[in-house]
Amino acid sequence: MTPALQEKLAHLPARPGVYLHKDAAGQVLYVGKAKNLRQRVRSYFQESRPRDGRLEALVRKIADVEVIVTDTEAEALILENNLIKQLKPRYNINLRDDKTYPYICIAREHFPRVFPTRRVRKDGAKYFGPYTDVGHMHRLLRLIRSVFKVRTCKLNLSPEAIAAGKYQPCLEYHIKKCAAPCIGLQSEEAYNATIRQIEQLLNGKTQALIAQLRAEMHACAAALNFERAAELRDQIRLLTEHAERQKIISQDFADRDVFALAVDRTEGVACGVVFQVREGKVIGRRHQYLRRIEGQSDSALLQAFVEAYYAEAVFFPEEVLLSHPLEEPSALAALLRERRGQKVPLRLPQRGEKVGLVRLAEANAQLLLEEWRLAQQKRGEARIPEAVRALQEALQLPHLPRRIECFDISHLGGTGTVASCVVFEDGRPSKRDYRIFKIRSVPSGKPDDYQAMREVITRRYQRLRNEEGPWPDLVVIDGGKGQLSSALAALEALGLQNHFPIIGLAKRLEEIYRPGDPDPYQLPKTSLALQLLQRVRNEAHRFALATQRRQRKRVLRSELLDIPGIGLRTVEKLLQHFGSVQRVREASIEALAAVVGQTRAQRIRQHLDSLSPA
């Protein structure tokens, strides 16, 4: 721990807020919230605190901590959720849907429109959803169009535009689907009353809405306004039919959210499900998949899901039912109390009807997780080329070599030594994972491919061990027995000699060398497995050579490449022959001419002599 970090930890405030752990490059590693920032942040660095591998890796990388103080725990929860979505830190649980689900939006405007959208903006509009059942959302929209008179046009219905008489009523008015606020036939106050009724419907308060409309119908009938009473009667009938189609799962007609979790530790994924129960009826279900769950308890996973849900919610129920206890429920309880205006109990039911609700949610979470597994399996099987399967069979590998890493060493006469690491996934280059290594342990001018290979293998897999992967299914070394032995020695020093299969591929006869096998192995020239290995090896060679050429061009530009008529190929010939720029400087014109011809040799000699001190 640096002195600057120690100083910062010593002066942390004992207040609620959010903390951001950063690495030496300033990249945010983890975002968390705390009731007491001082206690929470300092606890990460206490030796007595038990740590799993994930937490140990995180703490090792922390070089700086930034804190943001909030007034309440509820504010900290909202801020934490927003920062996680914005920054996507590596060590936070990753919550994601399989797709972007739609919402119903009530726009913030004069005479608000009601429409579906897949994009949630911070524009003051109200969003209801998301709707995992898109058909249910469209049925709700059709019900709204049938029951309520709301506009579908995109006109700017400002008071000035309406007063100026800019618009004419459209077909929607003539078929009695809109009350024509565009020409002043409906006041904004009356229209907004209709919008409030639509919000009741979208929040699942159907029975309360029906009771309200029934009271209004009786009042209109008593006032002899039979036309309006008939409209209200038809609205009540449509809403009653809608309510009867909803499944009653609770006889107390309460509003509650039911959360459950299913976890697959092998695949490293969990599924959280919430049932939205309003007036005793299920009006919707939402789910999310959670990744990066290593080292996280079921309680922590469920808490992350529940907090993310309520950070964006527009309706807060009377009660929340949970399948697992939450590790730190205080911030969530504070948020629910603040948003609803009263305490919202967080319960783990043990018996009765409520246990049945939680088990129903758990069954749905397990079903969705199984669907995810099947989809991943089908997607993966469809992606795997025949060459990958052929390579597994040819090399008798324990797993399909879906991720292959290949290493190549490149230098010019021992100068500018670099190593390339290319990655293929399912038989295709994954260029975002390519890496280049500047070799430090080999002195310039003294080529040593074996030492260079030991260095690059050590650096690559020491880092992957610290970051816990992703590990390759096969490692290919461009070279024969010597290069493979150097790579194996590096892996043994790291304790990773049996972590993944590794082979050497010698270019001259395309011989395959395997650890412990004294004789090389050859595949038929027409083999799909050999063709895949050749593509991987050639790509590693291309990437190393291209990088080295760019590097070499930058280094040599001020010297040899500035000579008129001398290009990169000529410079490469000189360096291959003489070994270094210094030896080119010292060469006679006859020695230069033997490599590049008399004319170029004279140009080079004249240029180099002009640079020499008199």
Rounded to whole angstroms, the Cα distance separating 294 from 310 reads: 24
Tokens of 32: 């968390």
> What integer pLDDT is reported at residue 76 of this predicted model?
87
- For the chain, domains (ranges, CATH) are 3-92 (3.40.1440.10), 256-376 (3.30.420), 389-552 (3.30.420.340), 557-611 (1.10.150.20)
Report in angstroms the alpha-carbon separations of 123 from 78, 108, 127, 426: 17, 7, 10, 43
Beta-bridge partners for 127: 105
pLDDT at 133: 67
Question: Distances from the Cα of 544 to the Cαs of 78, 89, 441, 538, 577, in angstroms?
Answer: 47, 31, 18, 10, 21
103-106 and 126-128 strand pairing: antiparallel
Instruction: Measure the CA–CA gap between 384 and 401, rounded to whole angstroms.
Output: 10
The answer on pLDDT for 339 being more than 70 is: yes
- Following DSSP, what letter does each residue of 82-139 receive, concatenated? HHHHHH--TTS-EEE-SS---EEEE-SSSS--EEEES---SSS-EEE---SSHHHHHH
Lowest mean pLDDT among 14-23, 249-258, 356-365, 520-529: 249-258
> In this predicted structure, what is the pLDDT of residue 551?
66
Q: Which of 441, 462, 459 is nearest to 450 (CA)?
A: 441
Highest mean pLDDT, choosing among 156-160, 302-306, 557-561 = 302-306
Q: What is the DSSP string of 145-205?
A: HHHS----------HHHHHTT-----HHHHTTS---GGGTSS-HHHHHHHHHHHHHHHTT-
Please count the other Cβ atoms lying within 10 Å of the Cβ belonging to residue 524. Answer: 9
Contacts (Cβ under 8 Å, ≥6 apart) of 21: 28, 29, 30, 31, 32, 44, 58, 62, 64, 65, 91
pLDDT at 100: 62
324: tokens are 């697992």
H/E run at residue 474: strand 474-478
- Which pLDDT value is given to residue 614? 39
Q: What's the confidence (pLDDT) of residue 445? A: 61
- CB neighbourhood size of 589 (10 A): 14
Q: State the pLDDT at residue 326.
A: 92
Pairing of strands 94-96, 114-117: unpaired
Whether residue 601 is predicted with pLDDT greater than 70 in this model: the reply is: yes
Q: What is the pLDDT of residues 481-500, one digit of tens each?
A: 889 999 999 999 988 888 89
* 3-class DSSP string for 200-252: HHHCCCHHHHHHHHHHHHHHHHHCCCHHHHHHHHHHHHHHHHHHHHCCECCCC
Give the model's confidence band at 98: pLDDT under 50 very low, under 70 low, under 90 confident, else very high: very low
Instruction: Give the pLDDT confidence of 368-377 residue by residue, as tens digits.
Output: 888 888 777 7
Q: Give 487-528 as a 3 state SS string.
A: HHHHHHHHCCCCCCCEEEEECCCCEEECCCCCCCECCCCCCH
**Residue burial 401-426, b: 16+ Cβ < 10 Å; e: rest:** bbbbbbbbbbbbbbbbbbbbbbbbbb
Give the DSSP H or E segment for 261: strand 256-264
3-state secondary structure of 253: coil
The secondary element (H helix, E strand) that includes residue 397 is none
Provide the mean pLDDT of the chain: 84
Query: Where is average pLDDT lowest: 128-132, 379-383, 413-417, 433-437?
Result: 379-383
| pLDDT score of 303 more than 90 | yes
Q: Is the pLDDT of residue 38 over 80?
A: yes
Give the CB-side neighbour count of residue 28, counting CA atoms within 13 A. 17
Counted residue by residue, the chain has a size of 614
Q: Which of 146-160, 301-315, 410-424 has the lowest mean pLDDT?
A: 410-424
β partners of residue 30? 21
Three-state SS at 408: strand
Across the range 67-93, mean pLDDT stands at 86
Contact 570, 536 (CB under 8 A): no
Residue tagged 């001018």 (tokens): 445
Strand (E) positions, 3-50? Answer: 17-22, 28-34
Q: Which two tokens stand for residue 6?
A: 């120690």
Confidence of residue 532 (pLDDT cuts 50, 70, 90): very high
Q: Which region among 106-110, 116-120, 234-238, 240-244 has the lowest average model confidence (pLDDT)?
A: 240-244
C-beta separation of 172 from 178 below 8 A: yes
* Band (216; pLDDT cuts 50, 70, 90): confident
Place of tokens 């290995």: 533
Distance between CA atoms of 200 and 461, rounded to whole angstroms?
58
Distance, first Cα to last Cα, the chain: 54
- pLDDT, tens only, 426-473: 888 998 899 999 888 877 667 788 998 999 999 999 988 887 778 999
Instruction: State residue 556's pLDDT score.
Output: 52
Measured distance CA(605)–CA(342) in Å, rounded: 89
Characterize the bridge pairing of strands 474-478 and 403-412. Answer: parallel
**How far is it, in rounded angstroms, from Cα 586 to Cα 36?**
70
Short-list 223, 151, 162, CA closest to 192: 151
Residues 6+ apart with CB under 8 A from 245: none
Percentage of the chain beyond pLDDT 90 is: 20
- As a whole number of Å, the CA-based R_g of the chain is 34
Output the six-digit token pair for 455: 């260095």
Distance CA(400)–CA(549), nearest Å, equals 35
pLDDT beyond 80 at 206: no
